[in-house]
Structure formats: C-alpha cells, structure tokens
Copies of this chain bind each other. A is one copy, B any other.
Amino acid sequence: MRMKDLVGGPMPIAKEIAEMIEKSSWIRKMFDEGAMMKARLGDEAVCDFTLGNPFQEPSHRVINRLRELVLDDASGTHKYMQNAGFPWVREKIAEHLRIETDQSFTPNHLIMTVGAGGGLNVILRAICDPDDDVIITAPYFAEYIFYTANHRARAIVVETDEHFQLIPEKIKEAIGPKTRAVLLNSPNNPSGAVYPEEALAQLGEILREKSSEHNRPIFLIMDEPYRKLLYDGVKVPWVFGYYDQSMVVTSHSKDLNLPGERIGYVAVNPKDQHAEALINAMVLTNRILGFVNAPALFQRLVAELQAEECDMSIYKKNRDILVNGLSDIGYNVISPKGGFYLFPKSPDSDDEKFTEALKEKNILVVPGKGFGRAGYFRVAFCLSTDVCERALLGFREVYKGCGISQKS
C-alpha cells in the first residue's frame, strides 16, 4: 500500500490504524498467499489450519428453532429493543446461569452483545480511562491488543508457564496503580489451556489484595467462547465464586456454530457491588460504539438454546490425530483441554521461517509471534479429519528439514 497519496499530503488514514495494517501485513500476506495457493492448486490440495472458523454447521435443533422463529409472525420482533437486549432473553440466560453457577443472576446482570468481540469492546470502553493498564497473558488472542488500543488502554503482557498455565506471582508483579483489569481467555486461544479452580482462587486473592492496595477495583474479565468445547472430562470453573469484581464474556460463534451472526453476551457477577453502575455504563457503550443492540433474531434464537451441548466428536478425533501424529514425529505439543487449537513448539526457533517451510508443503499455520509467543505455531483444527491426516506427512518432512533429531 502506498503510504503517501499521489497528489501530495499524507494518507487520510489514522496513523495508528496505518501502523496496525503495516505491522499485520505479514498476516495479510500469508492469507493472500494461501488464497492464491488454493486458487492455483484447488481447495483440496491445501491444508489450511489458519482460521478459527468452525466447519461444522449449526445443529438441527438450532436450524429448526430459527425456522420456527421466522415462520412465527409475531409483530415487533425486528425492532429496536432496550440496548441491553430483550428482557425475556436476558431472563432465559440468567436462569441458565443461576443453575450453572449458583449465583443470583437476574436480567440486570446481563447485556446481549455483537459476539464476544463486541462484548469486550463494550467492557473496555466502559471501564478504561486513557492509559489504564489491562493485563493479558501470552500466548494471547491477538485481537486483545487491538481492543485495548481502541479504548486508549495499554495491554500489559504477562507470560504463562511452559504448560500455558497462569503464573499468579507474575500477574501480581505486573499490577500497578493504573491496572484496571486482568483479561483471561479460558479455554485459551491459541494454547487450549483451561485454568483450574486453584488458579482462579489464587488470582482472586491477589486481585483483592491489589485492589485494596491501590484503592481501585481491578476487574477480572473471563473471555469464554470455548467454554463448552472441552476434552478429557475437564470442566471450566466459573469465576464468580472466586472474585466479586468479575465478568464473563462469551459468544455463540463456536458452541452453536453461528460465528457470522454475531451473538454473545456479557455477564457481570451479581456479587459485584458495582454491578448496576457497570451495566449502566455498558448499556451506554453498547449504544455509542454503534452496536446499539445485539441482532434481534439471534437474541431470540439463543435464548432457548443455552443448555445445548457441543458435538465434540470430530474435534476430539482431529485433536488426537494431530497431537499423536505430531508427537510421534517429534514435535513438542501439549494436548489442548478445550477449544480447537494446538500450539506446538516450532522445531525451528524462527517460527516464521518454519511456517514458510510448511507452506512449501501446502500446509498453512500461523506463527506464534502473532500470539505474543515466538517459537511456536498455531494449528486450528476445526476442519475435516482427512485434512489433519493428510497434513502429517508434510509436518514430518518439514520437521526433518529443521535438522532436529526425531524421537523415533
């Protein structure tokens, strides 16, 4: 892209946005090359593990409910409603959360949002003063960097351990007088880590101490769109019992396979003494950021589907094929406990170089540096099983080419 225009004067794009485009141009280049590769060789010939776009369709129950809603001729269903969303939809979700969490949720603790991405922007706009700190953990979902920048906050990155688990002491050290929130993603994209109860309990203890020390509440924001995508009998603990100043943001992109429809919600801990003020602020920010309200039809759809379970059979199959296959080759890979991503160590310490080598074998993955942890790579396995099987040969050849001795 030309950063100067032809007639003179700088480009009329905000500098910060132009820099973001510039910095992420390698991701764009990667996607463009992937698209060209598919155009040249055919979709079938390319193993594209780059996108977190679930390949599964919404279940019959979801589609049937959508049909019922659209065939039902009730008036007023496509109109504006309260910015927080339909009260009856929020009551349905509150009911679900009361059962799930044993906390006293009401519709007044909930705001329906344009997915979790919308929800996170609504939260950050509501709570962040300029130059406030938001602590995130690496590897992180790359969008967090942009979301905090949108609202003039600084993302403070704290490392996790070699199993991608929280190191509470490191988070404690990172907290200062400007810290407004800690933002965690569990199950984590890209690592698949799920944070257990003990970690949340420890973190709650630290945040209470630090909130008191700095005389300002520090929020714990849990981003949980993969909450129902779990393996090996693992459960994702709810944060509400461990820390009062907490919220959960989620979407139905992955658990109901509706990513394009943009529907999710934010749930504020009923025990948070600031709950009312927070929700009032988010009602305003949902409106003024231009979301106005979450799409009406999809609010109505998800209201009745809160208890819906995910079909994990294919994801589990894919995970096992890849984890076992890559481990056999010699890759250092931790089996994810949730979500549909692997985050193995790159056999070449230069993860971009490694990614380029994989591309030569028609395999597309994302370098770890895009998630704040260089030397790794992300494999999104929300695709058909034969792609996972087919890719193992290429993973083997590139591994060999990196000159590292194999396990077997």
Are B78's CB and A14's CB within 8 A? no
In the complex, chain B residues whose CB is within 8 Å of the CB of A257: 78-79
- B13, A277: Cβ atoms under 8 Å? yes
Verify if A292 is at the interface (C-beta below 8 Å from B). yes
The reply to whether B291 and A127 form a contact with Cβ atoms under 8 Å apart is no
- Given known A1-B280, A71-B67, A80-B53, contact A215–B288 (CB-CB < 8 A): no
A238 located at the interface, meaning its Cβ lies under 8 Å from any Cβ of chain B in the complex: no
Choose among A21, A79, A260 the residue with the greatest number of B CB atoms under 10 Å from its CB.
A260
**Is A343 an interface residue when CB atoms closer than 8 A count as contact?**
no
CB <8 Å contact, B296 and A260: yes
Flag if A16 contacts B129 (CB, 8 Å).
yes
A195 adjacent to chain B (CB < 8 Å): no
A10 to B132, CA, bound (A): 14
Q: Size class of A's contact patch?
A: 35 or more
Q: B291, A147: Cβ atoms under 8 Å? A: no
Mark the stretch among A117-125, A226-234, A356-364, A389-397 that contacts chain B: A117-125
With A12-B216, A125-B17 in contact, is A80–B260 under 8 Å at CB?
Answer: yes
A242 interfacial by beta-carbon distance below 8 Å: no
A172 at the interface (CB under 8 A from B): no
Given contacts A67-B71, A129-B14, A150-B125, contact A295 B260 (CB under 8 A): yes
CB of A157 within 8 Å of the partner chain: no
Cβ contacts A258-292/B at 8 Å (1 or 0 each): 11111000000000011011101100110111111
Q: Quick one: given A70-B66, A114-B291, are A273 and B21 in contact (CB under 8 Å)?
A: no
